[in-house]
Amino acid sequence: MTTVLPSNCSPPPLDETFETISPALAGALIAASQLAYTHCKLHSNGKDAVFVFADPLHVGNELLRRYTASTFPPVHAEVLAEARAFLTDEVYRVKGGRHGKARH
């Protein structure tokens, strides 16, 4: 059996992103290659940065739970440091400031 939607009705959009304001979690997600980083934006409060990841399989909350429980995949310290430096640059860019050592 197939369901036919009326022409004026469309399915609700799927939330295919995971967002966090935690630079530590964002850095770990990048370093462990768990989700694909897409961009950084300013939080609606005007002061926090929000890190946005593509999450087509909706695993972001499970990854957050694993990170909080310290059962996240181990990552190399150098890769984690590079990810955190990249995110620091992103925060400064989004907030309109400049970071002394921009990495590209």
In this predicted structure, what is the pLDDT of residue 97? 72
Confidence band (pLDDT; 50, 70, 90) for 31? very high
Amino acid at 39: H
What does the pLDDT look like over 77-86, one tens digit per residue? 999 999 999 9
Mean pLDDT confidence for 66-85: 93
- In order of 32, 37, 86, 101, the CA distances from 57 in angstroms are 17, 14, 25, 35
Domain ranges of the chain: 17-94
Burial class (CB in 10 A: 0-12, 13-18, 19+), 31: buried
Q: pTM of the predicted model, to two decimals? A: 0.77
